[in-house]
Amino acid sequence: MEPLVSIITPTLNIVEKEQADEFNLLVTLLELQTYPRIEHIVIDGSSTDETIDLLKDYKNKGYINFYTEKDTGKFHALNKGIMRAKGKYILFISCDDFYHDITAISDAVSAMEADNADFLFSPAYCRHPEGYTFLFMPAMYNAFQVLPCARQGMIFKRSMLEEEKYFDEKFKIMSDMDLIIRLLLKGRKAIFFETNFTTYKFSEKSYGNEEQCVNETKLIYHKNFRNLCALNDETLEAMARYSEFPPALLDKLAGCFSPDDRDLFMERCEQMHQLRLQQLRG
């Protein structure tokens, strides 16, 4: 029998935010997935509009299970979803995102089972707040400098998330990046799935809060790298704002990849540093 897959979606006042139609698309396309064993868990943050009535209707029709109670943010909601999930594998998808390839979950789970992988990452279509869509190709060699892939295009082994103590909820925007860094530092087995099966909306909260992103990234670096290299505030600022890492730290981080990929890792890190400098100059 195929392993159960848990899909977790956080919601909050989606009727008031005019996200009900997008949520309906998500649910409808999930019902069309060819994978036979999926549970869809919705974690609602105690909505005050008609969202609860909407969710009850979907639950009565057998599409979802949902829980509603106040939370402290998106990652708190996702963690509560993990704790309630029964699946061997977990995916996270927002209420205004969707899976556009109905066979992909089946194919991706088969790939994870064949390789005994801890997590999977894939390309994804990103809908930008300014009204255009682009393909977000994973850049795992740059995972220590920027978010390397979309969470919505990833699959995680639930037991691994439990062992790693879930998302770090003190990071309100950049907790995805913190989790991926931790997984790489621990040597968790990852596989690249080349099929693009997700369309997601870029977080307007991230888009409009550059300084919070920088400050959270500095804290993430200090948390994860402080035992690998001496890090003062000036160094952390250069790392978070310019992707400029101390050579001694990069040398140690290169060990997270195959020795054959060391030169490529160093090259990609320098390319990202130069790109960030160009962006900041103009």
End-to-end CA distance of the chain: 55
Contact 8, 43 (CB under 8 A): yes
- Residue 231 CB contacts under 8 Å (≥ 6 apart), including other chains: 221, 222, 225, 239
How far apart CA 112 and CA 3 sit, in angstroms, is: 11
Parallel, antiparallel or unpaired: strands 124-127 and 190-192: unpaired
How far apart CA 26 and CA 208 sit, in angstroms, is: 25
- The backbone torsions φ and ψ at residue 121, rounded to the nearest 5 degrees and listed phi first, read -135, 155
How far apart CA 190 and CA 141 sit, in angstroms, is: 12
pLDDT along the chain (282 residues), means of 10: 97 97 97 97 98 98 97 97 98 97 96 98 94 95 97 98 98 97 98 97 74 96 97 97 97 97 97 92 72
Token pair 């892939």 is at which residue?
Answer: 149
How far apart CA 75 and CA 92 sit, in angstroms, is: 11
Token pair 């003062």 is at which residue?
Answer: 232
Which of 263, 266, 177, 162 shows the shortest CA–CA distance to 219?
177
Would you state the pLDDT for residue 226? Answer: 96
How far apart CA 120 and CA 140 sit, in angstroms, is: 11
Count the neighbouring beta carbons within 10 Å of the beta carbon of residue 175.
Answer: 23
Q: Domain map of the chain by residue range?
A: 5-209
How far apart CA 148 and CA 152 sit, in angstroms, is: 12
Q: What is the DSSP letter of 4?
A: P
Would you state the pLDDT for residue 39? Answer: 98
Length of the chain: 282
Would you state the pLDDT for residue 207? Answer: 59
Sign of the CA dihedral running 115, 253, 242, 272: negative
How far apart CA 30 and CA 24 sit, in angstroms, is: 10
Q: What residues form DSSP beta bridges with 136? A: 124
Name the CATH code of domain 5-209 (choices 1.10.8.60, 3.30.1300.10, 3.90.550.10, 3.40.190.10): 3.90.550.10
Token pair 């549970």 is at which residue?
Answer: 39
What is the number of alpha carbons within 13 Å of residue 6 lying toward its C-beta? 24
